[in-house]
């Protein structure tokens, strides 16, 4: 007996089931290299017509392709496009680790590399500074765009349309008394970030914590990450952050060159 669902496509569970089946098809092709409609149907326990529709949808997206002579399906080059986004992040952390280690020693503060993740910033890598009092571990944590130095850098270099889209989906929540919750004030801060080449946050995300960030660019000049230094406000003062800015910007530019940027 087939376990193919009779649930309407618009029902709440139908979409999830379709996604699960589509992923199973991709995993099957990745494991075996190729498969026909009958093979896919048998592996998923569905009718051949369902397997054919799944393969057709994946083929339309370029995620699978059909060998015309034998009728078998294999993974398409659309997979490479998706994998490229992950590969780029791996490259950022791989090339950025030594730079972070060097700057952590030179600046005496904790270094992070962060990227956009939906309406947030996510930290990919961190190197702690040598001081006894250092920032906590931020790796893997989602933090707000508007109240972090990394978030400001990433926002500042987006197109106005994309920036508006992200800010519309994210609340400008007040994290501390110094958080910028006005869109007008935030836009002014982002303009200043673009002009001077780095962003600051002075106890805007967490009281007692300051940070500075500079943009990291990809081969095509797109800002893809932020290189940040953070530390306790009593030590990493606003004045000191401006003093450390040239070294941080230089480190971000070095990482950009390693990613292929030649601007």
Q: If you average pLDDT over residues 239-255, what whole number do you get?
A: 97
Sketch the domain layout of the chain as residue ranges. 12-76, 85-258
Residue 118 pLDDT greater than 70, yes or no: yes
Question: Is the distance from CB of 72 to CB of 34 less than 8 angstroms?
Answer: yes
pLDDT tens sequence across 32-49: 888 999 999 999 999 999
Q: What is the DSSP letter of 29?
A: H
Residue percentage of the chain with pLDDT more than 90? 57
Q: If you average pLDDT over residues 75-100, what whole number do you get?
A: 77
Q: Residue 137: which pLDDT band, with cuts at 50, 70 and 90?
A: confident
Per DSSP (E only), the strands in the chain are: 64-67, 72-75, 110-117, 120-127, 142-144, 199-202, 209-217, 223-232
Round to whole Å and give the CA distance between 221 and 218.
5
Residue 13 pLDDT greater than 90, yes or no: no
Question: Is the distance from CB of 47 to CB of 41 less than 8 angstroms?
Answer: yes
Domain 85-258: which topology?
Beta-Lactamase (3.30.450)
- How high is the pLDDT of residue 168? 82
Domain 12-76: which topology?
Arc Repressor Mutant, subunit A (1.10.10)
Question: Is the distance from CB of 251 to CB of 227 less than 8 angstroms?
Answer: yes
Residue 7 pLDDT greater than 50, yes or no: no
- How high is the pLDDT of residue 1? 41
Four-CA torsion 244, 248, 251, 252, nearest 10 degrees: -160
- How high is the pLDDT of residue 141? 84
Burial of 102 (0-12, 13-18, 19+ CB in 10 A): middle
pLDDT tens sequence across 181-234: 999 999 999 999 999 999 999 999 999 999 999 999 998 899 999 999 999 999
Residue 5 pLDDT greater than 60, yes or no: no
Closest C-alpha to 110, from 131, 90, 124, 88: 131
């Amino acid at each position: 007996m087939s376990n193919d669902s009779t649930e309407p496509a618009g029902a709440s569970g139908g979409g999830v089931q379709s996604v699960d089946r589509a992923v199973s098809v991709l995993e099957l092709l990745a494991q075996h290299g190729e498969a026909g409609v009958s093979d896919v149907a048998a592996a998923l326990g569905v009718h051949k017509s369902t397997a054919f529709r799944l393969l057709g949808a994946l083929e339309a997206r370029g995620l699978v392709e059909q060998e015309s002579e034998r009728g078998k399906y294999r993974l398409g080059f659309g997979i490479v496009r998706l994998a490229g986004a992950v590969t780029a992040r791996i490259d950022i952390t791989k090339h950025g680790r030594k730079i972070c280690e060097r700057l952590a020693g030179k600046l005496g503060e904790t270094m992070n590399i962060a990227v956009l993740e939906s309406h947030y910033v996510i930290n990919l890598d961190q190197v702690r500074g040598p001081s006894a009092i250092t920032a906590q571990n931020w790796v893997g944590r989602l933090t707000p765009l508007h109240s972090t130095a990394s978030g400001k850098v990433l926002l500042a270099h987006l197109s106005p349309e994309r920036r508006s889209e992200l800010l519309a989906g994210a609340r400008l929540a007040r994290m501390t008394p110094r958080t910028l919750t006005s869109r007008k004030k935030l836009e002014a801060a982002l303009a200043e970030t673009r002009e001077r080449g780095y962003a600051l946050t002075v106890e805007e995300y967490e009281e007692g914590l300051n940070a500075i960030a500079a943009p990291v660019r990809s081969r095509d000049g797109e800002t893809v990450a932020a290189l940040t230094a953070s530390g306790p406000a009593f030590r990493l003062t606003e004045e000191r952050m401006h003093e450390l800015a040239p070294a941080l910007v230089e480190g971000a530019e070095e990482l950009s060159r390693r990613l292929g940027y030649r601007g």
